[in-house]
Structure 1
């Protein structure tokens, strides 16, 4: 006899399968749409060849019409045409996977754009034509297993290797493109765009996040900032007045944060509750830091000495100046070797990594007094180990893959970093119908088993091998 629980489980599985199939069908349709854009580009080139003096006008007219017909911005249409053109002319393997719905439009966008340096190297004779075929092969394999964001990181590293020494040159050239732009967003808002080196952008966002968390954590400890009772050369604040001083009776502070200099008078000031989201707090802090050079004291404390954190991997030979191979900004992509050396000179918190021939971290050593297992796990994981999640390590916790309370051992092959959101998915307090389980393999790969009986694999990130 089939129970209601079994019927519910089967229905959930069917809905998941239907959703996945619809996503595949959408990808197929997106591939068809990209093919139409590629055909239109060919017509545009033919028209431009026939009327070379009007080439720019022909192109701009085409972009404007597709933007108007699709009700999308001209910038988005421009990108779509460019991606479709490169996909059609340079990436047949990716195009085939796209048509079959094995990769999504988001994956294709990252694949095509990350391949730019490889195409440039092939066109300039710095790399063999086979480099693009190798790139496409790896790109499809990665995209079929990972999210678009993780695919971008992996392929940027791969592209840097396949394009040879151009990474250093490109980073030096791109650095000259630093800029700040402003455009209206409507309703009194604007978008401030800053183009700057990636390692600095990552550190800025991390510092803003730390500052915002400190503000949010300090909400309960918020105290009203009272005006001085005497604002002369030596101002006297209410907290400076002794408890038995008669003048203190003229100043009252109430438990809800309300305060007044005259309890019998109508002038009462209320401190509003701070209900801002973390994004709103980050934005307000950025405004304060840029305009006032210091966060506002009125919205919390504990902000001193908070610095941005980034993780960099660099070969010892590069660090010593023996070569100029690219370093790696963990979770983002290649990093100019000069920047890595500069960072190394400013910070002593470096760990030494030992890699196997595939690029997998097998052992760590460190000159800093850090516990060995944590060093190893930080080096191996780089981010949360739930499939698709890229939450950085410093916002994750080290978790026992097999629950310690059930006999799981505290050893490398039973530990991994999980963010708070995904850590709770396997918590024993969750009902069996909704709890996830995980099993870690000897190489650090974690197989996640969903409540619907599906298995999703997350392999530890491998370092790109520079050969």
Structure 2
């Protein structure tokens, strides 16, 4: 009979084998990139004396690999591009060959590195900045998911070449657009390209309105369609229903509600599946839309001029979009033009933040040390001060790799309050609902995670297998 130790060992062995397989996959990805790089060298030889056909030769090469590998042309094009620019990152190449980073990490590093290489080429940054970026990027990539790596690298590149990022963002404003394309089955993709902070705010507001609809839709008054009652093979009309039997007793007291002037409706509180005496009752349809469907319907209502409060539930008009940004006081006052940061996403132009400041109802004054670590925030009352501090410090869910914004997360006592955990900053962290649930005491200990805060603000998660995964607090980027 297997013991608990045997069960844990088996699960641990499976995890170790999976991690090793992932590393080997990355090694194979590096070999594939090397093959693509060699193919690009052959391509360069082909077009050395025929530059006029360079583009068509390249497209032909990509198309062949795309067809042979049954890979989308755009994906194959990105793979060739990444393989080509890897030659500029020798340390990244070595890490890729060892399997320390994946192809997805490589793609994010190269993409973010264009800002740095452009600045070096333009002479606005020293050549050593490229090396600094590569070394820092590897440290980030070896502990973060590709998505989290992208966010941190955008901030890193902005910190190293602030002026270049600002100029690129200003130039990119001209690329704002709205496009549409069919996706089949009567659906279409409506795509809006606009400044990132506005897109984040729009999605946040749609999400919060949808959540309010889900929360309050049970409170909506039922509306019965009388046209349905008065149509079909056996239409139901007021004169067809006598509210009393011949002896004068109520006939449909439990199924029909009568009003003035002969009007009537069925009782929406009676369930025909439960009440066998009223099998023909009509009931309003239940709103079973998911949050994605609701967001799509709500943005349609808003764009087409419908009133979301009247059509989608209660208290929706009071929901405003929210974004969290960080900006130096001197920049906010207009004394300089250092880049701000759209927390959890990357650099933001100071003019955009100044525009937001004119409409904001709350700004938190933060104090950071020389490394960018948040050490203090101003306060009003102790409880609110702690919440504001945690939101400002954590920025997003503190599970490794999770980027759920703080305003959609919960504040957790790392050491359970019911078991003596203090309501103190060194015992509190922000977790999204999905990761918060991992440490719920009702979960069997064989599957339950634990989390504790270490000195300095790191949150150390311990898996059911006893493996520890640390999440350092997000650093505030110092744009200098």
TM-score w.r.t. the length of structure 2 is 0.87
Counterpart-to-counterpart distance in 1, 2:409 and 2:25: 34
Deviations 1:422-454 (A, max 9, x none): 112212222221221222112111111111010
* 1:84 corresponds to 2:83: yes
The 8 Å contact of residues 215 and 302 in structure 1, kept in 2 or not, is answered as no
Question: CA 1:168/1:256 → structure 2, altered by over 3 Å: closer, same or farther?
Answer: farther
* 1:147 corresponds to 2:145: yes
Number of the residue aligned with 2:127 = 129
Number of residue-to-residue matches in the alignment? 445
Counterpart-to-counterpart distance in 2, 1:3 and 1:368: 55
Number of the residue aligned with 1:232 = none
Number of the residue aligned with 1:201 = 199
The 8 Å contact of residues 381 and 461 in structure 1, kept in 2 or not, is answered as yes
Number of the residue aligned with 1:439 = 452
Number of the residue aligned with 2:338 = 325
Number of the residue aligned with 1:307 = 320
* 1:274 corresponds to 2:287: yes
Quote the offset at 1:327 in angstroms: 0.1
The 8 Å contact of residues 350 and 367 in structure 1, kept in 2 or not, is answered as no
Counterpart-to-counterpart distance in 2, 1:368 and 1:183: 51
The 8 Å contact of residues 223 and 284 in structure 2, kept in 1 or not, is answered as no
Deviations 1:161-190 (A, max 9, x none): 112311221111011111122233233333
Question: CA 1:189/1:37 → structure 2, altered by over 3 Å: closer, same or farther?
Answer: farther
Residue 4 of structure 2 aligns to a residue whose secondary structure is helix
The 8 Å contact of residues 309 and 315 in structure 2, kept in 1 or not, is answered as no
In structure 1, stretches of 5+ residues that fail to align are 230-242, 259-263
Deviations 1:381-426 (A, max 9, x none): 0011111111111111111111112221111111111111111221
Residue 317 of structure 2 aligns to a residue whose secondary structure is coil
Counterparts of 1:70-81 in structure 2 under 5 Å? 70-81=69-80
2:297 alignment partner, one of 279, 284, 287: 284
Counterpart-to-counterpart distance in 1, 2:399 and 2:268: 47
Residue 365 of structure 2 aligns to a residue whose secondary structure is strand
Deviations 1:228-282 (A, max 9, x none): 99xxxxxxxxxxxxx9953254333432699xxxxx9x9x865332222211211
Question: CA 1:298/1:39 → structure 2, altered by over 3 Å: closer, same or farther?
Answer: same
The 8 Å contact of residues 327 and 341 in structure 2, kept in 1 or not, is answered as yes
Question: CA 1:339/1:248 → structure 2, altered by over 3 Å: closer, same or farther?
Answer: farther
Question: CA 1:48/1:248 → structure 2, altered by over 3 Å: closer, same or farther?
Answer: farther
2:136 alignment partner, one of 138, 142, 145: 138
* 1:389 corresponds to 2:397: no
Counterparts of 1:20-419 in structure 2 under 5 Å? 20-88=19-87, 90-225=88-223, 246-247=260-261, 249-255=263-269, 271-295=284-308, 297=310, 299-365=312-378, 371-419=384-432
Quote the offset at 1:48 in angstroms: 2.0
Quote the offset at 1:140 in angstroms: 0.8
Structure with greater Cα Rg: 2
Counterpart-to-counterpart distance in 2, 1:422 and 1:3: 30
Quote the offset at 1:49 in angstroms: 2.1
Deviations 1:208-233 (A, max 9, x none): 1111111212232232335799xxxx
The 8 Å contact of residues 268 and 282 in structure 2, kept in 1 or not, is answered as no
CA RMSD for the aligned pairs?
Answer: 2.4
The 8 Å contact of residues 448 and 464 in structure 2, kept in 1 or not, is answered as yes
TM-score w.r.t. the length of structure 1 is 0.89
Quote the offset at 1:367 in angstroms: 7.8
Quote the offset at 1:380 in angstroms: 0.6
